[in-house]
Structure 1
């Protein structure tokens, strides 16, 4: 094991690798900002920020392999051993995610079994308490309300791993549950109204992905109504930004995103702000407006430096660092920017050997960016990796990426085109 492993006692919420990075910095006598400066001095460019150093030390993200090399030099430790520790951390994250998914499946199974058999033991779970409260006509308690709100947030994360068809049933069932709870919400009415809007927005996104565009627009309209009812403008921004992916003229899309940017102004909206400006940058790049696209991308990246997607509004949890990589790659590829190659390398390194949530989307955006940017061989290689990953983990956004990748393939890539067509079917 590494001789510089931290001796700090590890709690259930702490990861040994995060503690290791924290101790390495403290041994160097640096603040987080000084650590970022030291790493950037090694790399010769702005590789990390103070906020990213904080994320590393809190176990929120794991540095890319490139960044690990710079950290190793800055802290005077062997790169190979630091890389080994990072690999262990990635494995632990994957295992924890699988455990959570298993526990959620077990809870849902218990709920369904309880509903069918009428087992009163189901009332021990939040879902069971909610069902009992509704049957008795009593108010929804805090635990049940929080369970509904947390479930709405979780569905936005599941979007990265599930196909639209599988996700649709879950989302619409949850929307039914919140709708049934609202008349009994009492003091939790505003919070549940916001959760209902978040769920309706996701239902709209899934419907659009399935080609049900009229239905999608109806869901977005309901989301806006929830935002108005709850007095919560960021919720309308969610609907507007989802709607910006739809089949509308580009200038109309920019108008939706400008309104969304207004709706996410203020404290506590840094992640939402980053996503909205990132989407604006994508659409401006598609119009060929390089200046406007790069300014919007800079605003997005600056906002994300102050963001915490795990602690802000529940629905922003899908706006991970991988998602920001996707937005950046999309803009650079469309504009054929020289930064594309370095950004692509960093994005692949950040993904690591075990594909994280959202990794399929990043591979798709990377393939599109490289093919558009003229890096044909590298683009085809990444396209094949994207196909393999998307077939293994179909999701709502991978399908759209497959369409774009297929449209950019050169003649002669029939096998690859065939597999991409399977993804879009």
Structure 2
């Protein structure tokens, strides 16, 4: 998705530049509203309404009489399925996330919408990169780029570069990841504020910096994390609490890599509290991963406090 992640920051109006209108545009606007709610709503509360919304789109599509109308509704269904995948990922249900990303891609293909298909492939690539499946993430990101051929909007180009960087970082290739991130930063300079549909949120320099923080956390490069942290400030200041908590955990990993244990676990504890409040399996598992990376014989108090919070987690 959002998405990812591609990490949401400032909402933009849904675009009708793809030529769709009427019923399909109304359904897509409803999906966009659900996507904006994700930042401040538990995925477990959102997933059933979004599934009902998806079933409505599918029912209307089945009854559509014209091929063009069915294609527009398939595009609307693709976006809704992609949101279900994103919510499943947040809940820690990786099997469902993969299934729904696959369904979203197939619906985009039926819609004959290359940009939407590339978006869904890129979203799945982002998911696999975060899961540590580097080769699969990289292959999917490159397949998404090929699907666009010569018609690749700047925001899609930069976003896919960010996804590729995450996959390269998961593979431990700091040199290649750094080069791709530099390329992404150059691509977003001068990009219009409003991203094309299916993006609901902007992808700008702050987002590229947030991806660099994530890559640095996976590579154990504290210098990447500290160097990009200020530029990612807009993401940390956004209203999307779950994405902000995930970025805080990446910054905490940078602190841990540089030996700042108190700072790392103070930040991680705050992020974990957000994960517990929103019942986000993704946040909690990332917090567990951070804790596994630090195994002293006698943990300091800040770590014991973090452990106390973790012991109370029952999602």
Segments of 5+ residues of structure 1 without an aligned counterpart are: 1-59, 62-92, 98-140
| C-alpha distance after superposition, 1:109-150 (max 9, x if no partner) | xxxxxxxxxxxxxxxxxxxxxxxxxxxxxxxx9543322011
| Structure 2 residue 286 is the aligned partner of structure 1 residue 401 | yes
User: 1:265 Cα deviation (Å)?
Assistant: 5.1
Alignment partners' CA distance in 2, 1:162 and 1:251: 33
Alignment partners' CA distance in 2, 1:378 and 1:266: 46
Alignment partners' CA distance in 2, 1:318 and 1:393: 24
| Structure 2 residue 249 is the aligned partner of structure 1 residue 377 | no
Hey, what does 2:4 align to over in structure 1?
none
Q: Contact conserved, 1:153 with 1:314, CA < 8 A, in 2?
A: no
Q: Contact conserved, 2:161 with 2:181, CA < 8 A, in 1?
A: yes
Q: Contact conserved, 1:153 with 1:317, CA < 8 A, in 2?
A: no
User: 1:275 Cα deviation (Å)?
Assistant: 2.5
What is the count of residue pairs matched by the alignment? Answer: 287
| Structure 2 residue 137 is the aligned partner of structure 1 residue 253 | yes
303, 309, 315: which one pairs with 1:419?
309
Hey, what does 1:223 align to over in structure 2?
104
Note the 1:242-391 alignment, pairs <5 A: 242-244=123-125, 245-246=127-128, 249-264=133-148, 266-267=150-151, 269-308=153-192, 310-317=194-201, 319=203, 323-335=207-219, 336=221, 338-348=223-233, 351-352=236-237, 356-357=239-240, 358-391=243-276
Task: Work out which structure has the larger RCO, using CA pairs closer than 8 Å and 6 or more positions apart in sequence.
Answer: 2
156, 167, 192: which one pairs with 2:73?
192
Q: Name the stretch that deviates more: 148-157 or 239-248.
A: 239-248
Segments of 5+ residues of structure 2 without an aligned counterpart are: 1-8, 13-19
Q: Contact conserved, 2:92 with 2:282, CA < 8 A, in 1?
A: no
User: 1:210 Cα deviation (Å)?
Assistant: 3.8
User: 1:295 Cα deviation (Å)?
Assistant: 1.6
In our comparison, the structure showing a higher alpha carbon Rg is: 1
Q: Contact conserved, 2:42 with 2:280, CA < 8 A, in 1?
A: yes
Q: Contact conserved, 1:159 with 1:395, CA < 8 A, in 2?
A: no
Q: Contact conserved, 1:161 with 1:394, CA < 8 A, in 2?
A: no
Hey, what does 2:47 align to over in structure 1?
168
User: Cα RMSD (Å) of the superposition?
Assistant: 3.3
Alignment partners' CA distance in 1, 2:36 and 2:82: 13
Note the 1:14-29 alignment, pairs <5 A: none
